């Protein structure tokens, strides 16, 4: 078997699945390739990666996609911002706030809450810097807020908005044996599951049988 190239967008952490892959397929190297949210679907369509962990929704033309888990949506704010007094924030709380539009924003909504500073999206890392400067606030999946953590910033859960969904995607016409292996891993199948390829089971040795004792000769019957 050749190696396996797995793409993943910022914030997604495939470490657990990579560890299981290494345990089950130690002779098949798995290469991790970090990709942007915008380029992820096209990279897997072109075969530059075998599969990719990305956020839905995407254009699924020519692609399979298995939803894996849902991420909490949060708003990133300076630590001294008024909204930090609450445990969670609503859309109405942000109605008058200036908002930044992150490039990695794949949440399924028409536009973020509040007032957009600029319709043009900016890289999430740059948007975080602008939040720290007091320019505006930022709505992102929680994993991206953690990825770009800063001591002068914090975040709060945002209710009343869509949540992002992380999925595994690969080309419709190229479900290879290695892709099947990885699908089994992310779905929690055991190594010897009947669905998808599995590692061969060890054959049990037949139990040792005791040697047969020779039959005893029958005693002749006495005549009366």
Which domains are present in the chain? Answer: 4-69+165-186 (3.40.190.10), 73-162 (3.40.190.10)
Tally the residues of the chain: 224
Tell me the pLDDT of the chain (224 aa) as tens digits. Answer: 579 999 999 999 999 999 999 999 999 999 999 999 889 999 999 999 999 999 998 889 999 999 999 999 999 999 999 999 999 999 999 999 999 887 766 666 666 678 888 767 788 899 999 999 999 999 999 999 999 999 999 999 999 888 889 999 999 987 899 999 999 999 988 776 644 444 434 444 445 555 555 555 555 555 54
What is the pTM for the complete model shown?
A: 0.79
Q: How far apart are CA 163 and CA 142, in angstroms?
A: 10
How many C-beta atoms surround the C-beta of residue 212 within 10 A? 6
Angle between helix 177-186 and helix 15-24 axes, rounded to 10 deg: 120
Name the CA radius of gyration of the chain, rounded.
Answer: 28
Q: How far apart are CA 180 and CA 111, in angstroms?
A: 37
Q: How far apart are CA 172 and CA 41, in angstroms?
A: 12
Longest dimension (CA), the chain: 122
Phi then psi for residue 63, to 5 deg, are -130, 145
């Amino acid at each position: 078997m050749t190696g396996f190239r797995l793409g993943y967008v910022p914030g997604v952490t495939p470490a657990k699945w990579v560890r299981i892959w290494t345990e089950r397929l130690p002779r098949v190297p798995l290469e991790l390739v970090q990709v942007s949210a915008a380029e992820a679907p096209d990279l897997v369509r072109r075969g530059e990666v075998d599969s990719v962990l990305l956020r839905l929704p995407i254009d699924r033309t020519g692609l399979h996609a298995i939803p894996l888990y849902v991420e909490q949506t949060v708003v990133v704010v300076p630590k001294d911002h008024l909204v930090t007094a609450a445990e969670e924030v609503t859309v109405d709380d942000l109605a008058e706030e200036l908002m930044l539009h992150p490039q990695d924003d794949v949440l399924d909504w028409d536009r973020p809450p509040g007032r957009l500073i600029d319709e043009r999206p900016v890289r999430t890392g740059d948007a975080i810097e602008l939040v720290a400067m007091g320019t505006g606030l930022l709505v992102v999946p929680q994993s991206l807020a953690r990825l770009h953590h800063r001591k002068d910033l914090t975040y709060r859960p945002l209710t009343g908005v869509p949540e992002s969904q992380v999925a595994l995607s690969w080309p419709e016409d190229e479900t290879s044996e290695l892709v099947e292996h990885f699908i089994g891993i992310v779905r929690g199948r055991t190594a010897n599951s009947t669905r998808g390829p599995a590692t061969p089971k060890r054959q049990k040795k037949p139990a040792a049988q005791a040697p047969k004792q020779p039959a005893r000769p029958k005693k002749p019957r006495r005549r009366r």
